[in-house]
A and B are shown apart, each in its own frame.
Chain A
Amino acid sequence: MATTTIERWVRVEGQEIALDPEGYLVDMTDWSPAVAEALAAEEERELTAEHWEVIEVLRDFYARYEMAPAMRPLVKAVGQALGPEKGKSLHLMKLFPDSPAKAGARLAGLPKPTNCL
């Protein structure tokens, strides 16, 4: 599955996890909650329960549809899973500033978005 060159490694629970130049997993099967924590720590982000529930939504989305969601469907999926209060782009922007779809995909261990939108 390694379509991308390994740029560096991050050590998680005694294992070396390969990352690409932008910090995405080179091998998607390396993902674990501990890996997500380590990736978040690199961004000086602390994963709260609210982050985790969105990461779960992202992973479920990918498992069902084999594609990482763009912002709009991500908002819809979060709304369906966690209720309308959280199914708002504002909520997601607060949790993942810059780009929720991209930052979320990295932490959830999904394929790197192709810059398509």
Chain B
Amino acid sequence: MLLHLLNRSAASSHVYRDALRAMAEDDCLLLTEDGVYSALMPLAEHFSAVYGRLFALREDLASRGLEGRCAEQIVIVDMEGFVQLTEDADRVVSWF
């Protein structure tokens, strides 16, 4: 299992499409930095193929005033959760 990191908003960059196409069936995706803008509907719908394996970083949501407005399909993790995700993955691939 690979963990993919995405730090771009789906509203401004198409890189999320390549990231999604590169993901295997059990890979996970963590939204960080400006990537967390995609954690809200309707942008989150772009990630429907990976619901259940889709995470967003709490501190990046909080600093942007978005905590509590996340789509319910997204699992929010803190920094420790981020580290845990990297422990569980064989490798980590960053998309930027």
- Touching in the complex, A and B, CB below 8 A? no
